[in-house]
Structure 1
Amino acid sequence: MTAEIADGVWRLDCGGVNAYLVFDDVPTLVDAGKPWDEDAIRDGLDDAGVAPADVGRVLLTHYDLDHVGTLAALAPELDVPAHAYGFDATLLRGDRKPPVRNHKGLIQRLGGFVTDFPDLDVVGVRDGETVGSFAAYHTPGHTPGHVAFVSEELGVALLGDLVSESDGELKESGWVISYDTGEVAASVRSLAARAPAFDVACVGHGDPLASGGDEELRRLAATL
C-alpha cells in the first residue's frame, strides 16, 4: 500500500520491505524493493503522481536483494544516478562479490543469483557529502557500505536497515541479517549524536515514524 506519511514523503510498501519517494529538489526514489516488486514500485510511484522517467535520482541505503531488486527493470526509464556508499556501491556495479566467509555476505551472494545489475550510473557517496538536501552518514554494520541519509531541511531521515520498527519503537539490525552487530550499535550511537533533528524516520522494515524520529533513535542509542 502506498501512503504519504508526511508532506512530500511517500511510503512504497513492497510487502515486508519499504521503498520511499521523497519530493526533494527532484523526486527521489529511496531503495527499490525486491526483484519481483516492479509492479509495486510502479504502482506506488503512480499513486504519488510520478512516472519512473520523472524520478531525478535514486538514493540507496545499502546493497541487499530487497533494496536494489527492481532497479534493473526500472533502469531504462529511470536513466538517473544511483547513489550508494563504498563497498555496497562496488557490489551494485558488479565490481566485486560479497564475501562468503561472513554469514550475511553468503546470504547476499545467494541473493545475487536472482538480482540483476542495473544499467545505471552508480555514484559513490562519501560520509558527510550532500545529495540534494540529504547528507550522507556512513553507518556500517548491517552491511559494510550501509549509509543513512538525513535532510535537516525536510526533517526526514532515511535509515534503511540500520534499524527496523516494531510496536512504534526502533530496533537495531540483528545478527542474522548483519555483517557485524558491534558496528551496528556503534553506527546507531554515532548517527544519533551526529545527525540534525528530524521528525520522520523512514525504515526498511516495519512502519516509518511520522514524528519524533530523532528522539526514538536517541532512546535506542542509549540502550546500546
Structure 2
Amino acid sequence: MVFELTESKRSEAPHAARRTAWQLDLTGVNAYLVDDGTVTLVDTGTPWGISRLVREIERTGHAVTDIDQVLLTHYDIDHVGGLRGLDRDIPVYLGTPDRGFLTGQERPPLSTPKGVLHRVVGPFLRDRDHVIEPVEDGDAIGSFKAYHTPGHTPGHMAYLSESLSIGFLGDLVIERKGELVPSPWYLSYDTDQVADSIRDLADRQPPIETVGVGHGVPFLKNGCVRLAELGRAIA
C-alpha cells in the first residue's frame, strides 16, 4: 500500500513544482518516492519484491521510467535488491564504503556477523549494470544533503532535505511502538558507531518535520524533535 507523506499542494504560480512524497510499503521494508520536480527513489527493496516495487511506484501516478535518481541509504539485501528492476541509465548514489560491496570491488569483513551475512549474499546483489556514484558526508544531491551515519553498515547514509522538510534515515534507527530506537546489535556492524551517528545527526540535522525509516511507520510531524530526543537519551 502507498501512503502519501506530504500534502499535494500547488502554489498559485502557474508553473509551481509539485512537492509530494510517498512511502512505498514493500512488505517488511520501506522505500520512498519523492517528486519535487525531480523524481527520487530512496532505496529499492528486495530482489524478489521488484514487481511490488513497480506496482507501488505506479500507484503514486508515476512510472519506473519517470525516476530521475536513486538514493541508497546503505548496502543490505532489502534496500539495494530491487535495483535490477530499474533502468540502467538512472544514476544511483551510495555511501562510499558500501559502494564497493555493491560493485564487488570490496569484500565485506568477516569480523562481524553482519559482515559474514554480506559476504554470503554479495554475489547475488553485485551490480555491474548501473553506474553507482559514491557519496560522501555533506554531498548535495538535488534538494537532499547526505549525512554519513555509519554503524549499521560502514557506508550508511541519511538523506535530509530542509527545503522539503523531510529526511530518510534508512536503518540507522527503526520505528518501534511509535518511537525511534537505534539499529539493534544483531543488524549492525558496530552499535557504538550507531549511537555516535545518531547523536551526530541529531546535532547537525536541519529542522525537518517528516522522517522516514527503513522499517516501521514514518513520522509525519516533529521528526527532528524525535531524533534529537533519541540523541539525548543515548548520550
TM-score range, shorter chain: over 0.9
Give, in angstroms, the shift of residue 14 of structure 1. 0.7
**In the alignment, residue 96 of structure 1 is paired with which amino acid?**
E
Q: How does 1:33-48 map to 2 (within 5 A)?
A: 33-48=45-60
Equivalent residue number for residue 11 of structure 2: none
Give, in angstroms, the shift of residue 211 of structure 1. 0.8
Please give the TM-score of this superposition, normalised by the length of structure 1.
Answer: 0.96
Equivalent residue number for residue 65 of structure 1: 77
Q: How does 1:1-224 map to 2 (within 5 A)?
A: 1-7=1-7, 8-76=20-88, 79-117=89-127, 119-224=129-234
Give, in angstroms, the shift of residue 39 of structure 1. 1.2
Structure 1 counterpart SS, 2:164: coil
Who wins on radius of gyration, i.e. which is larger? 2
In the comparison of the two structures, how many residue pairs are matched? 222
Assess, with a 3 A threshold, how the Cα gap between structure 1 residues 85 and 37 changes in structure 2: closer, same or farther.
same
Distance 1:106 1:41 in 2: 27
**Higher mean Cα deviation, 15-24 or 67-76?**
67-76
Tell whether the 8 Å contact from 1:69 to 1:116 is kept in structure 2 after alignment.
no
1:53-101 alpha-carbon deviations (Å, 9 max, x no partner): 110000000010000001012234xx21101111111112221121122
Structure 2 counterpart SS, 1:16: coil
Assess, with a 3 A threshold, how the Cα gap between structure 1 residues 116 and 90 changes in structure 2: closer, same or farther.
closer
Distance 1:47 1:184 in 2: 34
Assess, with a 3 A threshold, how the Cα gap between structure 1 residues 59 and 134 changes in structure 2: closer, same or farther.
same
Tell whether the 8 Å contact from 2:210 to 2:218 is kept in structure 1 after alignment.
yes
Give, in angstroms, the shift of residue 116 of structure 1. 4.3
Identify which of structures 1 and 2 has the higher relative contact order when contacts are C-alpha pairs closer than 8 Å and 6+ apart. Answer: 1
Tell whether the 8 Å contact from 1:60 to 1:82 is kept in structure 2 after alignment.
yes
Give, in angstroms, the shift of residue 107 of structure 1. 1.3
Distance 2:146 2:122 in 1: 26
Q: Percent of pairs identical after alignment?
A: 45
Gaps of 5+ in 1: none
Please give the TM-score of this superposition, normalised by the length of structure 2.
Answer: 0.91
**In the alignment, residue 186 of structure 1 is paired with which amino acid?**
D
RMSD: 1.2
Distance 1:67 1:109 in 2: 16
Assess, with a 3 A threshold, how the Cα gap between structure 1 residues 75 and 106 changes in structure 2: closer, same or farther.
farther
Gaps of 5+ in 2: 8-19
**In the alignment, residue 66 of structure 1 is paired with which amino acid?**
D
